[in-house]
Amino acid sequence: MFVIKNTRLAFKLVTISHTLFVLPLVFSGFFLSIKEVDILDIFLIILATLGARNIGFIFNRWIDRDIDLKNPRTNQREIPSGKVGKEFLIIFFLISITIFLLSTWFLCKEAFFLAPIPIVLFFIYPFLKRYTFLCHYFLGLSLSLAPLAGFFVSNCSYEGFLSAIPISIFTIFWIGGFDILYALQDLKSDIMNNVYSIPSIFGKKIAIIISLLSFLLALLSLIYFNIVNLDGSLFGNFLILIIFINFIFQIIYVSKDNYDFFKYNSYVGFLILLLAISDIFT
């Protein structure tokens, strides 16, 4: 019972659904460079991604526990509510970082020595909310390492690395734009608790405009990717159009104070993966 209970807490803590929109980004970079598909590599990439996301969530939830406690939307989360103790969190963190480091080691020795980079970025991100409204884009920057990491571990080589850059740029502005919309839920709480976000600094209307501009910049990077890597393929244009419609729906939803849009973001990562895989067949 102890194991089952704590396993459930772990799943609630890290929100597995969040990992589902990061994992396709890793594989998008992986398939851009891969020469042969190895099932073991696929398994190790999944483990490494889960480990990395767990590390990021643990840092974020623990460092933000006081802020979350003051926020009506988040005060019942596992850490601020006291459902998860410090001891459990330490054990879960050690397991996650072990999985992450071992996975990168077996994938590619060079990747193992680069592994501290995302860990440091994940640690820095929660503190930025206390100092700058640019924290949204720093989160995007942290996750933009996903396609680059996937590309690198496929052959342990930087050769052709530039082909993955547009997807990384897309990730920065996609996640940044989405996180701005997500922060609108906490607008009043952020203002009261001096949390820096674009909504708390500039207000809802300006925040939505900035989010829209971020989405447009993200789409431009995909258009560039499609032109350079896929010769402007019709299928690539079709996928980009779907992503554009997805972004517009998010803006419309939030404009009407409907925040039930997170599930739509999980589709975007898979569309990016489709875009990258289509490169194999062109």
What pLDDT is attached to residue 21?
77
Using 50, 70 and 90 to split pLDDT, how confident is the model at 53? very high
Question: What would the two tokens of residue 31 be?
Answer: 């398939």
pLDDT grade for 99, boundaries at 50, 70 and 90: very high
Instruction: Give me the mean pLDDT over the 163-189 stretch.
Output: 94
**What is the domain range of residue 17?**
2-281
| CATH number, domain containing residue 193 | 1.10.357.140
Is pTM, for the whole model, over 0.75? yes
Q: How far apart are CA 157 and CA 115, in angstroms?
A: 15
Q: How far apart are CA 78 and CA 95, in angstroms?
A: 18
Of residues 7, 10, 44, the one with CA closest to residue 27 = 44
Q: Would you say residue 244 has pLDDT above 80?
A: yes
Average pLDDT, the chain: 89
pLDDT over threshold 60, residue 42? yes
What's the Cα-to-Cα distance from 227 to each of 114, 221, 224, 259, 279, rounded to whole Å?
A: 31, 10, 5, 34, 11
Overall number of domains in the chain:
1
CB atoms within 10 A of CB 138: 20
